Chains A and B, each alone.
Chain A
C-alpha cells in the first residue's frame, strides 16, 4: 500500500492556558492519499483553518503527530519544517496572495526561485505548468489584469510548481461566484486526478462534492465523514439515456 501524502494522527491543538484555553482541534485523525482530494466542512470556528495550518506546518500541534510524505513534523526543528513546507506543500488561500508587481508566470516561478532555481529555468517551468493547466493566455498578465477566478487558478499553479504533491486550500472559492468557483475546483480536481493529494476547506457542499471524501468538523472534533467509495452511479441511470 502507498503511504499517505498527509497523515494527522490524533492531533490536538489548544490555544492559551487555564480558563481561557480553547481546544481548536481535539483528537483529529485524518489521512490523504496521493490522488485523493479530501474536503473539510464545518461551521465557522469549528477548527477548519487550524487543521489546515497544522497540516502544512504553519502551526504546531499541542499533541499528536503530523506526517507529510513520511516525515513527522514533530521530529523536525523550525528550519526543517520550513524546508519541508517549501518543497512539499502548496498553499492556496481565499485571497489568492499573488504578488501584484509580478506576472502570472513570474508568480508561479517564485517558489522555485526561492528554492535556488535559476530565474530563466524557473520561468520556463512556470510557463509549462500554466500551459498544462490550460492557463497559457494568462502567463504574461499581472494580477490586476485577471479575474478572481483566474488569479486563483494561477495561485493553484504556484502552489503545485516543482516537486510539491500536496496542496492545502483554505476556502479557495470563498470570494468567487458559482461559475468561476467551479473553474477553480476543476483545476484542483484535475491536479488530484494526476496524483496530487489535496485538502480543501470549504463551507459549501456543492464545492465539497468535488472531493472524494468529506470530513465534517464541529468544535474541533470530526463528527462525520463520507466514505471513500462512491456508491451509486446508478442513482441516475446514464447508460440508458
Chain B
C-alpha cells in the first residue's frame, strides 16, 4: 500500500483537508505508519495533477483546502479494493531502478539520466531551502516581537514542526544529489577504462552492482519497517 492509496481510501468517505487526512491516516493505522504533512501535500498535489482528486472550493477561514475524489479517483479506489496486493512487489525506489536499468539497457545515456535527475533534485532542494528560509525568517521576526514565547504558543510549535519536516526533506534531497554525483563520477571513471567494450562490460557490471547494492539496502530498510509494523499488529 502506498500513501497515495491510503489517502484516496480516506477521501472515499468524504472531503477532507491535509491535516485531517494525516491524523485520520495515523489513527487508523495505529500510528505504525507515521506520515509527515509534506508527504500528504505532495501526494495531494500529484493526485490533483493526475485528475484523481480535486479541491472542493476555496480555502476556509483558516486557509485550509478540502479535497474530494473525482470520478476517476472513485474508480481507482474501487480497483484498489478489489485487486490483491502484489506480494512480490516490495516498495522500491523508482530512481534506483531507473538507473539500474539505464546501465544495463543498451543505448541509454546513463550519465545524462543521472545529470537530468541531479538538476531536478537540485531544484527541488533549492525550493525546499527557500521554504525553510521563510520559516526561519518568520521565527526570527516572532522572536524579536515577543522575546519570551509562552509554552502554549502553538504557532511556534507548528513552525518548528514544519521546519523539521522541511529539513528532513532537505537531507533526503541532499543525499540523492550526493548519490547522483557519485554515480556520475563512477560512470565517468568506468568510461575511461581502456578495455571497456560496449554492452555488458566489466565496467557496466560494476556500476550495476553499485546501484543494486543501494536498491538492496533500501529494500532491507523497508523490509525491516514492514517487520516492525507486523510485530506490532
Contacts and interface: CB of A to CB of B under 8 A. Distances in A.
Interface in A206-224: 206, 208-211, 214, 216, 218, 223-224
Interface stretch (A19-27, A49-57, A225-233): A225-233
B96 to A, nearest CB: 18
Given A41-B181, A210-B129, 17 more contacts: A205-B125, A205-B177, A206-B125, A209-B122, A209-B170, A214-B122, A214-B126, A226-B119, A226-B123, A230-B130, A235-B42, A235-B45, A236-B42, A239-B59, A239-B65, A241-B18, A241-B63
A186 B184 CA distance: 30
Interface of B: 17-18, 37-38, 41-42, 44-45, 59, 63-65, 115, 118-119, 122-131, 133-134, 136, 162, 166, 169-171, 173-174, 177-178, 181, 184-185, 188
A204 interface: yes
Nearest to B66: A240
Nearest to A43: B185
Nearest to B135: A238
A177 interface: no
B122 A240 contact: no
Contacts of A211: 126
A201 to B, nearest CB: 15
Given A204-B174, A240-B41, A224 B126 contact: no
Contacts of B115: 216, 223-224
Contacts, number: 95
Contacts of B184: 218
A137 interface: no
Contact of A237 (B41, B171, B188): B41
Interface residues of A, number: 31
Given A223-B115, A240-B18, A209 B59 contact: no
Given A43-B181, A214-B122, A237-B41, A206 B127 contact: no
B218 to A, nearest CB: 19
A189 interface: yes
A237 B170 CA distance: 16
Contacts of B18: 237, 240-241
A209 B177 CA distance: 11
A208 B136 CA distance: 18
Contact of A224 (B41, B44, B118, B125): B118
B126 A206 contact: no
B189 to A, nearest CB: 11
A210 B131 CA distance: 11
A37 to B, nearest CB: 11
A73 to B, nearest CB: 30
Contacts of A232: 123-124, 127
Nearest to A225: B119
B178 A205 contact: yes
A205 B45 contact: no
Name the residue among A43, A216, A240 with the largest chain B CB count within 10 angstroms. A240
B123 A231 contact: yes
A76 B118 CA distance: 39
A40 B189 CA distance: 21
Instruction: List 4 tightest A-B contacts by C-beta distance, closest first.
Output: A205-B177, A209-B129, A209-B125, A240-B65
A234 B44 CA distance: 11
A86 to B, nearest CB: 32
Contact of A206 (B123, B133, B174): B174
